Amino acid sequence: GMTIDFGKKTTPASTVYRVQVVVVTGGNRGLGVSITEALAQANATVAIIYRSAKDAEEVADRLSKKWNQTIKAYQCDVADSAKVRSTFDQIEKDLGEITKVVANSGISVVKPALELTKEDFDFVYGVNVFGVFNTAQAAAALWTKRNQPGSIVVISSMSDTIYNSPITQAFYNSSKGAVSNLTRCLAAEWAPHKIRVNNVNPGFIETDQTMHMDPELRSNQCKEVPLGRFSKPWEQAGQVVYLLSDYSSYQTGSSVYIDGGYLIW
């Protein structure tokens, strides 16, 4: 009969919960905080990248004490490639070799399409597409130089596929379509280097972005979700840890939708 050879490793768990150095962009608030906390619980050292938050270092200190792990914040605009590379170098000097990366930073401009401008385009695509590219490329450059495998998770959105009426954010939605495709391109090009790239596509999450929504709009949106509610940020974070871990070692170029069933309807 068929035998399954797990080699010398007993289970992937023996490597999942090994200390890793993980970069989380936008790890100082929203979904990023939950991802940072989930990683810290899985025994990781975390480098948080933020753009302009005044409290990012306090957040890092608080999470560090809470989970008894090294967690440090770094100011860096992910749209600036040179700054991303120099920040990755600094992180490695401070914390050791980066082993995993989560490209989570993302922004939106909500306007009717007739009012969108070139500046809006550069802003949204600069973070959501080029920023993700810069983050992934900086990691892959380090890993290929050292011949080291790696895993990158890109936070896209269910709006890479669906139009989330009535929120008019054409640049946001299309940037998520672009970044999901980018994920597959990078996954294909870097598979020979044993670098995996996957994306997580959240549905509605309870974060600053969505809690500032008009309550009536929010409750209407809930009716569109088979599970009838928005997700808590931690309901997305477990999937991110899984995709960074060796449990997912055969998975690359995939999009995992965590949307309470939104795409069923």
Which one of 157, 175, 231, 245 is the catalytic residue?
Answer: 157
**Using rule CB under 6 A, residue 150 touches ligand NDP:** no
By CB under 6 A, tell whether 183 contacts ligand NDP.
no
Which run of H or E residues covers position 65?
helix 56-67
CB 240 within 8 A of CB 38: yes
Closer of 107 and 116 to ligand NDP (Cβ):
107
Q: Is 257 in the site for ligand NDP (CB under 6 A)?
A: no
Binding pattern for the stretch 84-113 against ligand NDP, x by CB under 6 A and - elsewhere: --------------------xxxx------
Smallest gap, in angstroms, from Cβ of residue 55 to ligand NDP? 9
Q: Is residue 207 at the binding interface for ligand NDP, with CB under 6 A as the rule? A: yes
Helices 118-125 and 170-190, axial angle in degrees (round to 10): 40
* Residue 31 touches ligand NDP, criterion: CB under 6 A: yes
**Binding of ligand NDP by 157 (CB under 6 A):** yes
| 8 Å CB contact between 54 and 133 | no
Among the options 74, 125, 172, 257, which is catalytic?
Answer: 172
Q: How far is the CB of 72 from ligand NDP (least distance, A)?
A: 15
The token duo for 161 is 């596929």
Q: Which helix (H) or strand (E) holds 63?
A: helix 56-67
What value, to the nearest 5°, has the Cα angle with vertex 72 and ends 21 and 191?
30
47 binds ligand NDP (CB under 6 A): no
Under rule CB under 6 A, residue 167 binds ligand NDP? no
30 is a site residue for ligand NDP (CB under 6 A): yes
Q: Please say whether the dihedral angle defined by the alpha carbons of residues 217, 220, 224 and 228, taken in this order, is positive or negative.
A: positive
Does the protein bind ligand NDP through residue 260 (CB under 6 A)?
A: no
The secondary structure element, H or E, covering residue 41 is: helix 31-41
Q: Which is nearer to ligand NDP, 52 or 68 (CB)?
A: 52
Residues in the chain: 265
Cβ count within 10 A of residue 38: 23
Which of 167, 193, 196, 189 has the alpha carbon at shortest distance from 254? Answer: 196
Query: Is 247 noted as a catalytic residue in this protein?
Result: no
- Written as one string, the DSSP assignment of 89-123 is HHHHHHH----EEEE---------GGG--HHHHHH
What's the closest the beta carbon of residue 248 comes to ligand NDP, in angstroms?
19
Write the CB contacts of 124 (distance below 8 Å, at least 6 apart in sequence). 107, 108, 109, 171, 172, 175
Identified binder of ligand NDP from the candidate list 41, 57, 72, 77, rule CB under 6 A: 77
Residue 29 near ligand NDP by CB under 6 A: yes
The contact set with ligand NDP (CB under 6 A) reads 25-26, 28-32, 49-53, 77-79, 104-107, 127, 131, 155, 157, 202, 204-205, 207-210
Residues with active-site annotation: 157, 172, 176
